[in-house]
Structure 1
């Protein structure tokens, strides 16, 4: 599935739209690719690279925390008595848990300037990619089959409560960072008008002025 195909601006009222999930996943992939390139160039210690890494960790933590606290428990209730589906949800939680020590290993190696940093970054990329693909290929179809768009709005509201306005001011321009202009316009069109205005007048420029990942 291409990035353009992921960004859907409308859908049938009885079908969940996963645009925000897909573009967030793609943001994780993009950031780790940038991190790997910086580390390969021997610039993992550049200030903007470190800032990019810290922002990546923040976005990943918010995303996984809300999934663990809100999404997986509700899905478990909906698929009670279905062993295969319950096993899938246990796998989602286990994959999140595997990522935490990997993030800590990369953090340690980054601060120490350790020689194994490139290997650890690639291990993190590979592990996260396996999880994201598993979620996209198996968990999202399960969600589509047992949850309603109204249910999904509950997840979106939980994510918004976790992010708050301050988090949204970074998340929105972070999502569009590196997107083709047409894709960015399609994504931004999904947002409430006040958020689009704030992004245009303040958030996007402030985010881009930081030059995350530059070295």
Structure 2
């Protein structure tokens, strides 16, 4: 089986993009703008859903496939440990945003570096391992968990959020990977609703 990781890479790019937007807002002294706060809240929700599905549905299935392979099991331990290091940084940034704390720029920089290191580690190590060992049913269980958690209401934000500001080729690749009804809903309804939310607007 060849797993299509288009949505996984697109999600990673969206996480990186949002933290870049947060860093710009903080540097400009506009981190307390309603749009920035709304963008941050959506970012943390999307990351929580993503990591919870990995921890609960994906990594256990990979573990089952690599039992008795210490090197691969160690990689999965690293994935889970990296998740646990990200959570306190999310909480610290959230607290600093609320209180306009002076350490906010340093906390955002630490979160960006930690999350980017994790995403790159996952892309370079865990995704090739998944491609090697997972079955179609394994991958369908993970993506199904994501869809169930998001629901239709969540999907109406997730899909336009993913492609927000994406290069045209990346946007097309992601939208071509989703079912046609989703593309239609996104074009006719979800994109406009998402834009009106003003996520990351600094004014």
Give secondary structure in 2 for the equivalent of 1:65.
Answer: helix
The equivalent position to 1:131 in structure 2, one of 86, 94, 118, is: 118
Higher relative contact order (CA 8 A, sep 6+): 2
Give secondary structure in 1 for the equivalent of 2:187.
Answer: helix
1:51 aligns with 2:38: yes
* Matched residue, 2:143: 156
In the TM superposition, 1:137-176 aligns within 5 A as: 137-176=124-163
Q: CA deviation at 1:35?
A: 0.2
1:201 aligns with 2:188: yes
Q: CA deviation at 1:101?
A: 0.6
* Matched residue, 1:5: none
In the TM superposition, 1:42-121 aligns within 5 A as: 42-121=29-108
TM-score, normalised relative to structure 2: 0.96
Moved more, 184-193 or 116-125: 184-193
CA–CA distance in 2 between the matches of 1:67 and 1:23?
16
Is residue 15–residue 148 contact of structure 1 (8 Å, CA) maintained in 2? no
1:211 aligns with 2:193: no
Q: CA deviation at 1:81?
A: 0.8
CA–CA distance in 2 between the matches of 1:41 and 1:175?
24
CA–CA distance in 2 between the matches of 1:213 and 1:186?
24
**Aligned-residue RMSD, C-alpha:** 1.0
* Matched residue, 2:24: 37
CA–CA distance in 2 between the matches of 1:53 and 1:137?
27
Q: Deviations over 1:126-180 (max 9, x none)?
A: 0001100110000001101111334312211111111111111111000110012
Structure 2 gap ranges (5+): none
* Matched residue, 2:4: 17
- How many residue pairs get aligned? The number is 202
Q: Deviations over 1:37-59 (max 9, x none)?
A: 00000000000000000000000
Q: Say which structure is richer in helix.
A: 2
Structure 1 gap ranges (5+): 1-13
CA–CA distance in 1 between the matches of 2:8 and 2:174?
12
TM-score, normalised relative to structure 1: 0.91
* Matched residue, 1:10: none
Give secondary structure in 2 for the equivalent of 1:189.
Answer: helix
Runs (4+) of structure 1 exceeding 6 A deviation are none
